Amino acid sequence: MNRPGSSLDAALTSGSTLARLGVRSWLLVGILAAAAAVLLLLAQVSGFVVPLVIASVLGALFAPVVDRLQDRGVPRSGGALLVLLAVTLVVIGSVWLFVAGIVGQASEIGEQLAAGLAELDRWLEARGVDLGTGASLADQATSGAEQAAGGGASLVSGVLSSAVSLGIGAAMAAFLVYYVLADWHSLTRFVGRHLTLDEATGAAVLDDAVVSVRRYFWSLTLSAVVTAVLIGGTAWLLDVPLAFTIAIITLVTSYVPYLGAIISGAFATIIALGSAGLGAAIIMLVVILVVQNIVQTIVLARLASAALSLHPIVVLGATIVGAALAGVLGASLAAPAVAVGVQVQRRLSGGATPIPESPGGVPEPAQS
């Protein structure tokens, strides 16, 4: 027979448990509301926040280069300017290679596209497939191109508007990159002192974040080299012209998740279609899909997981969630952000060790 006191104790224990769950639930609601408010605020000032984030990432990546130039007698402002010019030349050169490749193969691309559509049309007719329009695929494509050309004014207006916005953002990013590189050590000390932690812990947390970013992009560079070699080598084996250009564009656009793969894949496939025909274009497309969606994903997840001490599933999941929340920028920074969060938690709990990095700023191999 139960004693009355035991029933009362059980009721009090149950009530305290419910109270704790209620408090935690309201705390979770408050955290989610605060996060939503922060995201809304950032969305309103994204024109400044995005260039600032890009400048901070580039500063973390290239600050060691400026340090080396300073050790060799180059003023820090001059070193920052040289690095900024080098990055600008790489971007402009990649865009020029892309445009020049498309323009140089324009006539061949048009001829091969028309021939491919005509062949597909004959294949469908031989098997009794009627598109129900009374016109061939080539005629439909020509008609669609003419209709698109008819709306060229609005297209040009949209392109110009996007170009102006992109130019303004790029100019702001370049301005911020220069001053971040030139004042890197002053800025990092300032941020470390204002992390609501003691100065030593704040500096250590900031160092962890910087090294995590460098390690992730070092892993991304290695995976991009593998991807560029495989795709460029396939173009060379298929006797597709501009194989080196295809490899360079694949390498550069690998730093832009999803969108970069679409741009480089479309460029390589179109060049293969214009120069080597439909068969080579299909082979090129299949290789690109396999390399960019399977090989590069596996290589990057493995390298990043070793560099950041995260499981490959965590790296891949963080990238997907980051892309859903913040697009291309979120996909690029999700994995190092998760690594920083884990490292900060370990450091604040007293169980963290500094992330190793070589004197030149290149991460040392991590121990799995």
DSSP, collapsed to helix, strand or coil, labels residue 357 as strand
The arithmetic mean of pLDDT across residues 350-360, rounded, is 50
Report residue 325 as tokens: 């929340």
Query: What phi and psi, each to the nearest 5 degrees, are found at residue 256?
Result: -115, 100
Q: Indicate the pLDDT class of residue 221, thresholds 50, 70 and 90.
A: confident
Q: Indicate the pLDDT class of residue 155, thresholds 50, 70 and 90.
A: very low
Helix (H) or strand (E) holding 351: none
> pTM of the predicted model, to two decimals?
0.64
C-alpha span between 269 and 255 (Å, rounded):
20
Statement: residue 243 has pLDDT above 70: yes
Block residue for tokens 């941020």:
191
Q: Indicate the pLDDT class of residue 230, thresholds 50, 70 and 90.
A: very high
Phi-psi region of 310 (alpha: psi -120 to 50; beta: other; left: phi over 0): beta
User: Which DSSP string do the residues of 263-305 spell out, in sequence order?
Assistant: HHHHHHHHHHHHHH-HHHHHHHHHHHHHIIIIIHHHHHHHHHH
Strand partners, 357: 363
pLDDT in tens, 66-117: 989 988 888 988 989 999 999 889 888 878 877 777 777 677 767 766 766 6
Distances (CA, A) of 337 to 121, 242, 252, 319, 329: 50, 37, 22, 10, 12
Statement: residue 363 has pLDDT above 50: no
CB within 8 Å of 297: residues ≥ 6 apart: 316
For residue 367, the model assigns a pLDDT of 39
For residue 231, the model assigns a pLDDT of 92
Statement: residue 285 has pLDDT above 60: yes
The arithmetic mean of pLDDT across residues 304-315, rounded, is 75
Lowest-confidence range among 11-25, 194-208, 261-275? 11-25
**Selected residue with higher pLDDT from 256 and 353:** 256
Q: Indicate the pLDDT class of residue 241, thresholds 50, 70 and 90.
A: confident
CB under 8 Å, gap of 24 or more: what pairs does 360-365 form?
360/64, 360/68, 361/63, 361/64, 361/65, 361/67, 361/214, 362/214, 362/218, 363/211, 363/214, 363/215, 363/218, 363/307, 365/306, 365/307
User: Which DSSP string do the residues of 115-136 spell out, in sequence order?
Assistant: HHHHHHHHHHHHTT---SSSS-
User: Which DSSP string do the residues of 125-166 spell out, in sequence order?
Assistant: HHTT---SSSS-HHHHHHHHHHHHHHTHHHHHHHHHHHHHHH
Q: Indicate the pLDDT class of residue 44, thresholds 50, 70 and 90.
A: low
Do 58 and 180 form a contact (C-beta atoms < 8 A)? yes
**Selected residue with higher pLDDT from 301 and 368:** 301
For residue 217, the model assigns a pLDDT of 84
